[in-house]
Amino acid sequence: MDPGFEAYRIVNEISGGRATNFRMISTKPPLDSFGPRVVVEVDADAREALEIWVRAAREARGKGFILEVRWTREMNVSAEELIRYAVRALVEMEIPLFIDPDFDSVEAVREARRRIRGEARGDAPCHT
Amino acid sequence: MPYLDTSVLISLILPKDPNREHAERLVREVLGSLRISAWTLAEALGVLSRQVKRRSEVRELVEEWLEESGIPPSYLSDLSDEKLASEYIDLWMVKRNINVCNDPIIVDTLAVGVHDVRAFWAIRDAAELAARLGLSAADAMHLAYVWRLCPGPFITLDSDFTCIAEQARSLGIEVRGPPCKRDP
């Protein structure tokens, strides 16, 4: 299914028919592995739209697009709240904090533990 | 209740981590809600923030969202890698219902020779475990939490821990993870 129409459908269903339009933005590697960004506009204030975003993000997970919402009415959330909503949407869509195909959690933790002793990646130990 | 090593926590957070399936399996095999400690959080935040700094595409995506939503540019410069990592871990923990084994902040004494040194309970226990099991202090901190503060199996993806599973068991600590890879 077309990502734009599918994103619009999800948001429209969750918002009770308040999605007004959508636009698509292409993504560059490595984000393109999640598909294009689809921005759906909702006839709502910021808080309502962001709540809809989080719920819709859950539905959009793994469907081949990155869902975003915009609102037509009042901006009634703080910057702090907006960041939290954005991160909630990331978590719901299972978009990780970073994309690194070579990342290995076990090695990364071991490296961090070695770094304490200055052994990792050739870091010189701290001498005073 | 089971306690997660940092490698397990990070692996569960990152859908594409090569150890994810193994981590999910280990977690499925134990009963009870999952727990971590402030020490797990400290290690995870260090690793994830460092990675976000290196690979900033997702962070840039969040900044773009915020900018398009009318957030002033001055605020965006305050969105540090560690703040983003911290918010992500917090919200992911809420979603997965992961609890924190809180340090009781009880100051105890650590006997060093004839002297008593004031130390938090977890640090005092970590010192004892590091000495008895031959662990680094950082590794011993995790076992200190499951030893007396929050008893339960210690779930790890790091075979260094399973190599000392027998000695840990003699202290009442159950270590679950991949087989020890060290030569006998």
Restricting to B residues 151-180, those with a Cβ less than 8 Å away from any Cβ of A are 157-158, 160
Give the C-alpha separation, B82 to B73, whole Å: 18
Closest CA of chain B from A127, distance in Å: 20
Total length of chain A: 128
Give the pLDDT of residue A117: 58
pLDDT at B183: 67
What is the average pLDDT score of chain A? 91
Supply the pLDDT for residue A103.
96
pLDDT band at A128 (very low <50, low <70, confident <90, very high): very low
Residue A116: which pLDDT band, with cuts at 50, 70 and 90?
Answer: low
What would the pLDDT profile of A21-76 be if each residue is shown by its tens digit?
999 999 999 999 999 999 999 999 999 999 999 999 999 999 999 999 999 999 99
Residue B7 is nearest to which of A96, A109, A116, comparing CB atoms?
A: A109
Q: Name every chain A residue with its beta carbon within 8 A of the beta carbon of B59.
A: 97-98
Task: Tell me if B61 sits within 8 A of A39, measured CB to CB.
Answer: no
8 Å CB contact of A90 and B79: no
- The reported pLDDT for the residue numbered B184 is 57
Tokens 């969750």 identify what position? A14
Kindly report the pTM of this predicted structure: 0.90
Q: How far is CA A91 from the centre of its chain?
A: 7
Asked if A116 has any chain B CB less than 8 Å from its own CB, the reply is yes
**pLDDT of amino acid A124:** 52
Identity of the residue in A87, A99, A105 whose CB atom sits nearest the CB atom of B88 = A87
**A115 has a pLDDT exceeding 80:** no
All residues of chain A having their beta carbon less than 8 Å from the beta carbon of residue B10 are 105, 108-109
Q: Which residues of B touch A84 (CB under 8 A)?
A: 87, 91
Could you tell me which residues are beta bridge partners of residue A66? A37
Q: What's the average pLDDT block by block, 10 residues per block, for chain B (184 residues)?
A: 97 94 95 93 96 93 90 78 94 95 82 85 91 91 93 95 95 95 70
CA distance, residue B105 to nearest chain A CA (Å)? 24
Interface test with B, best of A75, A83, A115 (most B CBs within 10 A): A83
CA distances, B165 to each of A42, B29, B36, B99 (Å): 55, 17, 19, 24
Give the distance from residue A71's alpha carbon to the nearest chain B alpha carbon, in angstroms: 9
A81-92 pLDDT per residue, tens: 999 999 999 999
pLDDT tens per residue, range A31-40? 999 999 999 9
Å between B127 CA and nearest CA of chain A: 17
